[in-house]
């Protein structure tokens, strides 16, 4: 009897390729679905010959139907992923994150998929003033990205209850780690800081640098995704925070990088970006209880591992 087949949408991207790597390490059968708009073929190069690749787009139902054939578990990572990018192009965010997820859910339902795990976002909490943030809090999105991702989350809940497709949303909190792209004006803060550090340039800090996040090393969300796929049926329809339950500011990141490198970092401050929020800080007790989840890698260790990766790839230590 064949092993279950895992489909990772966006599997050539940062988080997706890390999931692919772990599934293959466990000896699983893996199929990747990606349109390579942001994902990179080089992220899959180390696994060549060990996975199946379907090139296609979330906005094309025929592509998704092909990708879903024979699949047991879907880990849906493909997305238009950036708050500032969504502010510049809200329609693209909606097309990919809301409509694209709906297309993926319909294809999964029609193909008889057992479990659909959706990559949600802490941006759904928006300007929440209650900390740590639990899954039962009201959602108050303040960016097109957050709205579009929350729409996908709600579609997952509906497909669980209405169509019988087991769906679980895992809400990410500022994931970082190897293979994250530092080369764009829309880059996440940690790879961007590391790129500037390696170039000997001052760190670009929007706002005052005291805004803080539950920065989560990628190995933790990889583990959370797989646990969500394999958890008992009672988790179907749930939204579950997958993070570390800690709170780190941008100034804290700069200080940690100074410790790692033994070098001082210059800083240049600029105005707050549209759609930015002050703080995220997760409560992960539901993940502990329902998924048996606990963070595998704490922030300082994750930052060190990420620095080692970027310094090897982009510069000299």
For the stretch 91-134, pLDDT in tens is 999 999 999 999 999 999 999 999 999 999 999 999 888 999 99
Q: Residue 317 pLDDT > 60, yes or no?
A: no
Residue 44 confidence (pLDDT): 98
Mean pLDDT of the region 67-79: 98
Q: Residue 193 pLDDT > 60, yes or no?
A: yes
Pick from 152, 166, 31: nearest CA to 103: 152
Our measurement of the distance from residue 245's CA atom to the centroid of its chain's CA atoms, rounded to an integer in Å, reads 16
Mean pLDDT of the region 18-29: 98
Residue 226 confidence (pLDDT): 98
Q: Which CATH number fits domain 5-177+215-245+280-297: 3.30.230.30, 3.40.50.1240, 2.60.120.10, 3.40.50.720?
A: 3.40.50.720
For the stretch 165-188, pLDDT in tens is 999 999 999 999 999 988 766 679
Distances (CA, A) of 201 to 78, 166, 198, 307: 32, 48, 8, 16
Q: Residue 64 pLDDT > 60, yes or no?
A: yes
DSSP the chain: -PPPEEEEETTTSHHHHHHHHHHHHTT-EEEEEE--SS--HHHHGGGTTSSEEEE--TT-HHHHHHHHTT-SEEEE------HHHHHH-HHHHHIIIIIHHHHHHHHHHHHT-SEEEEEEEGGGG-S--SSSBPTTSPP---SHHHHHHHHHHHHHHHIIIII--EEEEEEE-SEE-TT---SSTT--HHHHHHHHHHHTPPEEEETTS--EE--EEHHHHHHHHHHHHHS-GGGTT-EEEES-S--EEHHHHHHHHHHHHS----EEEEPPPTT--SB--B--HHHHHHH----SS-HHHHHHHHHHHHHHHHS--
Q: Domain limits of the chain?
A: 5-177+215-245+280-297, 189-211+247-278+305-314
Terminal Cα-to-Cα distance of the chain (whole angstroms): 48
Residue 186 confidence (pLDDT): 67
Residue 296 confidence (pLDDT): 98
Residue 302 confidence (pLDDT): 98
Residue 138 confidence (pLDDT): 95
Residue 314 confidence (pLDDT): 79
For the stretch 197-244, pLDDT in tens is 999 999 999 999 999 999 999 999 999 999 999 999 999 999 999 999
For the stretch 241-262, pLDDT in tens is 999 999 999 999 999 999 999 9
Q: Express as a percent the part of the chain with pLDDT over 90.
A: 91
Whether omega before 132 lies within 30 degrees of 0, making that bond cis, reads yes
Is the separation of the CB atoms in 46 and 17 below 8 Å? no
Residue 274 confidence (pLDDT): 87
Q: Express as a percent the part of the chain with pLDDT over 70.
A: 98
What is the distance between the alpha carbons of residues 53 and 51, in angstroms, rounded to a whole number? 7
Q: What is the mean pLDDT of the chain?
A: 95
What is the distance between the alpha carbons of residues 130 and 133, in angstroms, rounded to a whole number? 6
Catalytic residues: 145
For the stretch 287-298, pLDDT in tens is 999 999 999 999
Is the separation of the CB atoms in 84 and 126 below 8 Å? no
User: Going by C-beta distance under 8 Å and a sequence separation of 6 or more, which residues neighbour residue 129?
Assistant: none
pTM metric for this prediction: 0.96
Residue 1 confidence (pLDDT): 80
Q: Which CATH architecture has domain 189-211+247-278+305-314?
A: Alpha-Beta Complex (3.90)
């Amino acid at each position: 009897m064949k092993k279950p087949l895992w489909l990772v949408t966006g599997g050539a991207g940062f988080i997706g390729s890390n999931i692919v790597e772990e599934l293959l390490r466990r000896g699983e059968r893996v199929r990747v679905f990606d349109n390579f708009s942001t994902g990179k073929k080089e992220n899959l190069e180390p696994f060549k010959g060990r996975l199946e690749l379907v090139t296609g787009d979330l906005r094309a139902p025929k592509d998704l139907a092909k990708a879903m054939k024979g699949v047991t578990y879907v880990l849906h990572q493909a997305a238009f992923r950036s708050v500032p990018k969504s502010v510049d192009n809200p329609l693209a965010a909606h097309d990919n994150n809301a409509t694209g997820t709906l297309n993926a859910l319909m294809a999964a339902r029609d193909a008889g998929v057992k479990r659909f795990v959706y990559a949600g976002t802490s941006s759904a909490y928006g300007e929440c003033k209650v900390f740590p943030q639990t899954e039962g809090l009201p959602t108050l999105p303040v960016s097109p990205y957050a709205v579009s991702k929350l729409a996908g989350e709600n579609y997952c809940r509906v497909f669980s209850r209405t169509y019988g497709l087991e769906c679980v949303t895992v809400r990410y909190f500022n994931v970082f780690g190897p293979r994250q792209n530092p080369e764009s004006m829309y880059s996440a803060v940690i790879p961007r800081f590391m790129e500037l550090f390696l170039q000997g340039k001052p760190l670009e800090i929007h706002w005052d640098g005291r805004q803080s996040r539950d920065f989560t090393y990628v190995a933790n969300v990889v583990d959370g995704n797989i646990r969500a796929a394999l958890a008992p049926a009672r988790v179907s329809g749930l939204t579950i925070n997958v993070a570390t339950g800690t709170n780190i500011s941008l100034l804290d990141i700069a200080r940690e990088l100074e410790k790692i490198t033994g070098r001082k970092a210059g800083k240049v401050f600029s105005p707050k970006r549209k759609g930015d929020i002050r703080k995220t800080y997760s409560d992960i007790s539901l993940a502990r209880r329902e998924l048996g989840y606990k963070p595998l890698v704490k922030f300082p260790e994750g930052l060190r591992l990420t620095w080692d990766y970027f310094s090897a790839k982009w510069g000299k230590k």
